[in-house]
Amino acid sequence: MQSDQNFILNMKRIRVNLSFFIIGIFLASCTCSVNSKSSITTKVRTETVLFEDDFSKPLDEAIWKVEMDKQGNSSVDIEGGKMVMDTKGGVTVWLNKKLNGNVEITYKRKVVMADGENDRLSDLNQFWMATDPENENLFTRNGKFKEYDALSMYYVGFGGNENSTTRFREYQGDGERELIFELNDGEHLLTPNHWYDIKIKVEDGWVGFWVDGELFFEYKDKTPLQEGYFGFRQVWSHQEIDDFKIVEISESIQEN
């Protein structure tokens, strides 16, 4: 009688264990099925060339808008595969292409110091994301620096004030030129006849300015400028520019 009871008890245990085993297999199969249907999302960054110019062709005045203070011995032209700005007074050379969103701008630039009348080590300057709040047509000035005070834009004056300051400003569009950063040490001032690699980036309200791979300035703008024009700027100087390029930065989500 006792042995029969033990036998029945063992059989019940086997049935219970077998039930747990079957349930485990079922749950595992469900988990595998769910995992096989799940996907992984990744963020893909894309850079698309919007514009580039190696200055191998004559200056296209429909593309490059020159605003120059008409003083003697001043010119902007293409020479030897370079854009050459050789001016006694102020000059801005605008790219006639309105930029929007996230962009990266790169170019090479040199301040020429030889025996020329306009050879002066100063003012390797640039405007970007520039607009005129009062006029849809930006290209209405004559190269004098004060004429640009009312614009809305970012500005870096590299080696300004007789190569004594390097400044980053945001022009507010109402005459205020807010000084964001300033560098005065020799490592952040100009060297004669040196080809600088310049990079400017605007991305999701963040603005960066690099020289020869070094980040000179970075700024997170609470009210970022999201569109506008780029322009080369100088005052009484002789400079050369090459390998100009603008790329658009975009991101997309991909499922794997």
- The CATH number assigned to the domain holding 62 equals 2.60.120.560
- Going by the DSSP 8-state scheme, the letter that residue 218 receives in this structure is E
pLDDT level of residue 10 (50, 70, 90 thresholds): very low
pLDDT digits (tens, 9 = 90+) for 151-189: 999 999 999 999 999 999 999 999 999 999 999 999 999
pLDDT grade, residue 37 (50/70/90)? low
- For residue 33, give its domain range: 2-38
Alpha-carbon gap, residue 8 to 202, rounded angstroms:
79
Supply the pLDDT for residue 40.
82
Q: Is the Cβ–Cβ distance between 240 and 109 less than 8 Å?
A: yes
pTM of the model: 0.83
Name which residue leads in pLDDT, 1 or 77.
Answer: 77
- Looking at the structure, tell me whether residues 186 and 204 fall in a common domain: yes
Q: Do residues 96 and 135 share a domain?
A: yes
Smallest Cα–Cα separation from 171: which of 147, 146, 154, 183?
154
Rounded Cα distance, 193 and 236, in Å: 16
Residue range 195-238, pLDDT digits in tens: 999 999 999 999 999 999 999 999 999 999 999 999 999 999 99
Q: How many CB atoms lie within 10 A of CB 69?
A: 19
252 with 46: CB under 8 angstroms? yes
Tokens of 185: 């040490």
Q: Are residues 6 and 92 in the same domain?
A: no
**Chain-wide mean pLDDT for the chain?**
89
> If pLDDT is split at 50, 70 and 90, which confidence band does 38 have?
low
Which residues on adjacent β-strands are paired with residue 233? 92, 125
Tokens 């110091």 — which residue?
113
In the chain, the number of structural domains is 2
205 in helix, strand or coil?
Answer: coil
